[in-house]
Structure 1
Amino acid sequence: MALSRIAAATPSPAPDFNEDTVTPGLFGFITMLVIAVAAVLLALDMVRRVRRTTYREQVAERLDAEERERAAEAGRSERGPADDRSER
């Protein structure tokens, strides 16, 4: 029964404790600053890597298209214009 009274009792705050002035302090500020800077740097790095991958894909597509075009032109020049019309 005494345990239930102790558990039900609401602790009273210290007389010099002001709930409005409680802050995480300098340590909390520095910690949050480090986390924010790390998040921004990671986001910038991710954007840079995604952009680089996209550009590489575009360049590879262009090179493949040029290679197919050269191969098609080489095939036409070897067969001649008469052979080209007969295939259609």
Structure 2
Amino acid sequence: MGELLLKAGVWLAATPTPSPTSGPSDDSVTPGVVGFTVTFLIAVAAVLLVLDMTRRIRRVRYRAEIAEKLDAEKAEHQDDADGDSRG
């Protein structure tokens, strides 16, 4: 039995392993036109989303500034009205 295992081990060790090839051809690993198109569309969508987000943030900030001004004017008018009714 031991001799059979020894022969099998020698036979497996003597089996040649395949030599590495040069690798896949460039045509089979490039994304091609479809990959470029998808990447380009994703980049365009990201830029458009950033521009839209910037526009919305700016609009919210302007609305908050206007609301603060209106609140300040309303408080000023109330103070004037309260001062006239007291005096």
> TM-score, normalized by length of structure 1?
0.69
Pair member with larger Rg: 2
Superimposed CA distance per residue, residues 51-80 of structure 1 (whole angstroms, 9 cap, x where no aligned partner) = 111011001000000000000000111111
Aligned residue for 2:20? 11
2-structure distance, mates of 1:17, 1:79: 92
- Determine helix, strand or coil for the equivalent of 1:12: coil
Larger RCO: 1 or 2 (CA < 8 Å, sep 6+): 1
Percent identity, aligned pairs only, is 46
Total equivalences in the alignment: 74
Aligned residue for 1:64? 71
* Poorly superposed stretches of 4+, deviation over 6 Å: none
Letter in 1 for 2:20: P
Letter in 1 for 2:76: E
The unaligned stretches of length 5 or more in structure 1 are 81-88
1-structure distance, mates of 2:49, 2:78: 43
Q: What is the root-mean-square deviation of aligned Cα atoms in Å?
A: 2.9
* Residue 74 in structure 1 maps to residue 81 in structure 2: yes
* Residue 54 in structure 1 maps to residue 65 in structure 2: no
> TM-score, normalized by length of structure 2?
0.70
Letter in 1 for 2:70: L
Superimposed CA distance per residue, residues 13-65 of structure 1 (whole angstroms, 9 cap, x where no aligned partner) = 36x8359xx63211111011100100001001100110111011001000000
1-structure distance, mates of 2:63, 2:85: 33
Letter in 2 for 1:59: I
